[in-house]
Amino acid sequence: MYRYLEHRLAQRVLECLEKRYPGVSLPPVVIEQPPKVELGDFAIPLFPFAKPLRSAPLKIAEAIRSEIGTIEGIADMQVAPPGYLNVKIDRAWMAAALTKDEEPSAAVPSGKILVEHSSINPNKAAHIGHLRNAILGDTFVRLLRYAGREVDIQNYIDNTGVQVADVVVGFTHIEKKSRAEIEALVRQPRFDYYCWDLYARVSQWYEADKQNQQIRLQTLHAIEDATSEIAAIADLISTAVL
């Protein structure tokens, strides 16, 4: 509803100027948010119209204020130097419109929107920080689809990254566990927290001897080979964590 009012306001301002200055090519109306709440809900800078209309922004603002008339959903419009219109929403009207739960008709732009957002690293237990990007991406997708847009999503589970490789290194080089032993652990409760603790130990292992980081590189290459035992272990761990 807020965007609907914003669009309606911009349209009425443009119509008012076109009526007062017929035949003049005008720039689009830009609506901003005022720097202070007490100034209003919308702020319209009139500076882009000064050159084509050959008039001071403040005078243009005053002309619009006196000629635009009433706008449903708008309670007040004030001129502010050096050339702004500060506009306040009719909150009673807004509350009534929201209570009725009526969606204003609006043209839906054509074309597809692609939303790409990352998933969490499936190498240990997830907290809200890990989930943030996935939640934000999914929220954007839901909002766009609710608005009638056609949306495609690119979201993938990165089970071949460094973080997964580090946990594999922990199992295979620090704990020296076989695939069968890891499979037995996967069936135990809180396996993701087990991986979290192991991941921390791997970081310490790297810091203790920089040569150990070569094992990480070798593991990363092995994970890329889908036929390797290491790739199977990486898939087993990441799937269990997810």
CA neighbours closer than 13 Å in the CB half-sphere of residue 47: 7
d(CA 93, CA 84): 24
d(CA 166, CA 27): 56
Task: Kindly state the helix (H) or strand (E) to which residue 100 belongs, with its residue range.
Answer: helix 91-100
Residues paired with 32 in a beta bridge: 43
Q: Are 118 and 154 in contact (CB under 8 A)?
A: no
Can you give the pLDDT of all 242 residues of the chain as single tens digits? 778 888 889 999 999 999 999 999 999 999 999 888 888 899 999 999 999 999 999 999 999 999 999 988 899 999 999 999 999 998 898 888 888 866 666 566 788 999 988 777 889 998 887 778 888 889 999 999 988 889 999 877 778 889 999 999 999 999 999 999 999 999 999 999 999 999 999 999 999 999 999 999 999 999 999 999 999 999 999 999 98
DSSP state of 101: T
What six digits make up the tokens of 53? 């209309």
Can you give the pLDDT at residue 104?
61
In the block, which residue shows the tokens 């939303």?
Answer: 115
What six digits make up the tokens of 82? 């050096």
pTM of this prediction? 0.53
**Domains of the chain, start order:** 2-100 (3.30.1360.70), 112-242 (3.40.50.620)
Q: Are 234 and 159 in contact (CB under 8 A)?
A: yes
Q: Are 58 and 79 in contact (CB under 8 A)?
A: yes
